[in-house]
Chain A
Amino acid sequence: AQSVTQLDSHVSVSEGTPVLLRCNYSSSYSPSLFWYVQHPNKGLQLLLKYTSAATLVKGINGFEAEFKKSETSFHLTKPSAHMSDAAEYFCVYRSGNTGKLIFGQGTTLQVKP
């Protein structure tokens, strides 16, 4: 069965330091993967997507993610955290057959001044 696992429920970084949010997926097929961000009491906003083109995907707000098939990973990174990056981040797998989204449990990113 397809699934995604976000390895950290909570990540805390200082402003200006790098961000790493980890995600592993499980799929028998070539996956479509996404990262979404959710600010408190808000809807979800798409950060970036991987759909079997370039393995390094650049998204909005300076975020990027690298698809590594050998490691079944799709980790989200940003070179320098900003206070406004504090939010909940979801790694999401999309079923190729149905288009349904399968969400990870989420990672809360805290950015300290």
Chain B
Amino acid sequence: SQTIHQWPATLVQPVGSPLSLECTVEGTSNPNLYWYRQAAGRGLQLLFYSIGIDQISSEVPQNLSASRPQDRQFILSSKKLLLSDSGFYLCAWSDWDGKNIQYFGAGTRLSVL
């Protein structure tokens, strides 16, 4: 069966420090991968999605970037964190055609201080 892993679960970082959140999927090949951010008390906002290795689309201009160095690995990064980057970050995957259900990881709670 397919599983999705995100880490770390919780992260506290100072303003201006770099960021790297990792997401991996097991049990499937060539998945579509997604990064979402959930600000406190709000719905989810799609940040990036990827249909294949090194194929990444950005949904909103921001201080973050994403990379997909391997088929089932999706990384969210920042060179310099801002206070406004705080939030709950969720990774998700769906079958390669993107038309099936998205399955979510457990999320990473990021606090930028």
> Interface residues, chain A, CB within 8 Å of chain B?
34, 36, 41-46, 49, 90, 94, 96, 98-101, 103-106
Contact = CB atoms under 8 A, between A and B. Distances in A.
Given A41-B109, A99-B94, A99-B98, A105 B103 contact: no
Given A90-B44, A100-B49, A105-B42, A34 B104 contact: no
A43 B32 contact: no
Nearest to B90: A43
A106 B44 CA distance: 9
B107 A42 contact: yes
Contacts of A99: 32, 94, 97-99
Contacts of B43: 90, 103-106
Given A43-B107, A44-B44, 6 more contacts: A34-B101, A43-B90, A44-B92, A46-B103, A101-B102, A106-B43
Contacts, number: 47
Interface residues of B, number: 26
Interface of B: 6, 32, 34, 41-46, 49, 59, 88, 90, 92, 94, 97-99, 101-107, 109
A101 B102 CA distance: 8
A46 B44 CA distance: 14
B99 A43 contact: no
A46 B101 contact: yes
Contacts of A103: 43-45
A26 to B, nearest CB: 15
6 contacts: A43-B104, A46-B101, A103-B43, A105-B42, A106-B41, A106-B42
A40 to B, nearest CB: 10
Contacts of B34: 101
Contacts of A36: 104
Contacts of B41: 106
A32 to B, nearest CB: 8
A59 B49 CA distance: 27
Given A99-B32, A100-B46, A101-B46, A41 B107 contact: yes
